Amino acid sequence: MGRGNRSASISNKWRCCYPSYYLKRPKRLALLFIAFVFVSFFVWDRQTLLREHQVEVADLRKELTDLQNLLEDLNNAQGGAVGKIGLGGKNIKPIKDVPDDPIDTQRREKVKEAMLHAWGSYEKYAWGQDELQPQSKSGVNSFGGLGATLIDSLDTLYIMGLHEQFEKAKEWVSSSLDFNKDYEASVFETTIRVVGGLLSAYDLSGDKVFLDKARDIADRLLPAWNTSTGIPYNIINLSHGDAHNPGWTAGDSILADSGTEQLEFIALSQRTGDPKYQQKVENVITQLNKIFPEDGLLPIYIDPNSGTTNPSPITFGAMGDSFYEYLLKVWIQGNKTSAVKNYRDMWEKSMNGLLTLIRRSKPSSFAYICEKDGDSLSDKMDELACFAPGMLALGSSGFDPDKSQKFLSLAEELAWTCYNFYESTPTKLAGENYFFHSGQDMSVGTSWNILRPETVESLFYLWRLTGNKTYQEWGWNIFQAFEKNSRVESGYVGLKDVNSGVKDNMMQSFFLAETLKYLYLLFSPSSVIPLDQWVFNTEAHPLRIVARNEGEHVENSNEKHKSFSRLRGRKEGLVG
């Protein structure tokens, strides 16, 4: 329409507003009245329809929310294979559609039932105490009364969808967990079990009570790092803050105990915005890097005052193991950025050193990791060292293709050896360590089994990274051996002797934290705790991966936090 026609149209429109216009035209007035009634009815009808539509939309949204919650519950029941659907038909968090094998589903439910049996027994006979003694149906405070089994189990309960049990445990943490205890705590054990367990529960659920408690216990541990080098003492009084090393180390700190707090304390700094935790533990790696040998293999005893090592064994078993594990996992935790490249560099040196410790038995050619003392190698391997196949598989992708395949193949060889630690005994459960003699392959050394998780842990990683279902079969065989030999009326116990099957009277907290969790994940789709979004600490507590940049300032990530979609000495040999 041109400008002139538009002006004429406006003029005609406004002419109808004068009363005389209608008085001279009664027919028009009648027609207008009829039109007015019609329009009024139409508007009223549209408003009514709109209100009804709004109610209907609200009802549909509610139904969609209910369906979404149902899907999330199915997600848990089916191991996380169901996606979370958002409004508008869009995927909030797309995940790969992985068909769930009916056999895997059945096995996963069996593991879940085992967890319910273990947890229910703990709840009945040892609630709030550190560990359950199933044979005597009593609790024992082997970690100073910090509720070790309860805290260690939080993320396992959550991942398995046992929300009623999780909520009850959370209430205990909120109302009863008290760290002000006159107790000489292991910095290492307290960090991996308690700090790690609380942080994982926070990352999964988003409930701040877990973060607050993690910060409380970490603050009580921090004085252990107040040495001239910053390499921590390994024992601290939780009430007084007095720190020292065990008498049997002649004042030295232990390699694994001093180099296995990085994941937890870095994560705590990221989630609280307070850099002090990260600074303390990263300084340890800086100090150890100053004395790091070309083969990347450190003796297990370190002087916390001079920062130098003292003559002692080199091992991937007790007192050495998780130091090497954390070099790799801090690199993963930092999303493999340049800020954490030094960890990867140190780890690669150590893996080249590990190659020098590999021997193969006769006649079956089982690959195993020797221990080294001075210039001599010992043909002994701890079951604790069976974490190494999983670690090698997890880190293999960071090498060039040829080296990657070399380390992955070694991981598979070592996993076969570790599985045979189980298969070689009458009970089909592994002993604590093994010796290799020419012409005899492997023989049990220390013959107890305390429900350790290391072999199952490696089977989990190898299955996730290769898709080879053989590792699931091996894991299922191990689970059945635990069911046959370790399950009792009131929980699970270890064996005093894997040859005779004589039982002990302890359900280690890591059986719920690690062994059952890794078995459950072994039969769950890879979308449950995906390895590109989570990293497991050495007590199997998953922590969210957060990218790090060079020289970045640690920021409080609380407000950005997103919860997981619903769905011992642990590393030390026992004395005696």
Rg (CA), the chain: 31
Residue 510 contacts residue 568 (beta carbons within 8 Å): yes
Cα distances (angstroms) measured from residue 544 to each of 149, 219, 291, 329: 22, 22, 31, 12
Q: How many CA atoms lie within 13 A of 393 on its CB side?
A: 25
141 touches 499 (CB < 8 A): no
- 220 close to 236: Cβ distance less than 8 angstroms: yes
Q: How far apart are CA 454 and CA 481, in angstroms?
A: 15
Half-sphere exposure of 524 (CA within 13 A, CB side): 30
Nearest alpha carbon to residue 557 among 266, 152, 220: 266
Contact 329, 535 (CB under 8 A): yes
- Look at residues 267, 386, 253, 411 and name the one whose alpha carbon lies nearest to residue 330: 267
Contact, 266 vs 333, CB < 8 A? yes
**DSSP class of 552:** P
**Among 423, 430, 514, 407, CA closest to 474:** 423
SS3 (DSSP) at 35? helix
d(CA 28, CA 43): 22
Q: Is 538 annotated as a binding residue?
A: yes
Which residues have a catalytic role annotated? Answer: 189, 321, 432, 454
| d(C-alpha 503, C-alpha 482), whole Å | 12
Q: Which amino acid is at 40?
A: S
CA dist list (Å): 417 to 322, 360, 443, 482:
20, 10, 12, 19
In the annotated binding site, the residues are 538
In the annotated binding site for Ca(2+), the residues are 538
